[in-house]
Amino acid sequence: MTVREQGREPFAEKVKSGRNSVFTGRRALIIGGSGGIGRAISLELAARGASLFIQGRNRSKLQSLVEEIREKGRGAEGLVLDLEKSGTLKERIDLILEAGAEQSALASGEKKPARVFDILVCAYGPFVRKAFGAHQAEDWEKTALLDLALPGALASALCPGMSARGFGRILLLGGTRTDTIHGYLSNAAYAAAKTGLGVVAKSIAMEGAAHNVAALVVCPGLVETEYLGEDQKRALLAASPDGKLIQPAALATLALDLLDCDPCPSSGAIVSLDSGFSPCGFDNPGARR
């Protein structure tokens, strides 16, 4: 299934028709951008004219993505970094931003590196699947740190510069059904952290409104990525309301469309892009046509 088949016009065709993107000429920091949804967002941002600094854990996948973007005439640099093994939160933030500044200076020929990013995408987040009573202290600590504190701290570090320049767009990836408070049998720590991203986005929206800084949370439904095994894929297809899985490229297009406007009325929104998925539909025969 392609973006076109889902009723979306590929952005390359929008550019040809003269409709420009607010992302053109901007610099983006992508956390978790080398695979899955993050990779699709990276490619879509590049298609809309942004230059990218992409963090990823898998060296070969990241290098392949950077080369693909460069072959299309866009600027891209990568940082191989395992966020689960990189020191304190402040050390991780500093490492990412300093590396991004240095790469930007090298690419532009500037003598003094600057931590300048106009766009932030946080598409990374470790998933812990356990019964509530089986969660250990380290599970809560890891998910709170990487699924909530890391995106929040990065946004806090970048928002002042965005406000000073009069432009900023921040996209935070939530979890399935984390658009509001729910109970969870098997992933409470992860869901609690991802649900908290809504507070982050709404706070950015309030503070940034006067400075053209916008943020939102997208909560994906059942998405087909390379991380799914065959058994997982079959189970998700059975649970999907339309018997299909959402394609990462389609999700990336929809998510970026919400931020690709000036002014940005979607700022502060928590948006579910899930094709109507609900656990209550698992036993609905009509949901498995």
Res 2: pLDDT = 29
pTM over 0.95: no
Q: Note the pLDDT tens digit of each residue in 185-210.
A: 889 999 999 999 999 999 999 999 99
CA gap 48, 247 in Å, rounded: 19
Measured distance between the N- and C-terminal CA atoms of the chain, rounded to whole angstroms? 17
Beta bridge partners of 217: 172, 270
Res 16: pLDDT = 35
Among residues 53, 55, 50, 51, the alpha carbon closest in space to that of 35 is found at 55
List the CATH code of the domain at 4-288.
3.40.50.720
Which residue ranges make up each domain of the chain? 4-288
Averaged pLDDT, 222-242 = 80
Res 114: pLDDT = 62
Assign 176 a pLDDT band (cuts: 50, 70, 90).
confident
CA gap 30, 23 in Å, rounded: 14
Assign 282 a pLDDT band (cuts: 50, 70, 90).
very low
Neighbours of 48 (CB within 10 A): 24
Q: Note the pLDDT tens digit of each residue in 68-115.
A: 999 999 999 999 999 998 789 999 999 999 998 887 766 666 655 567
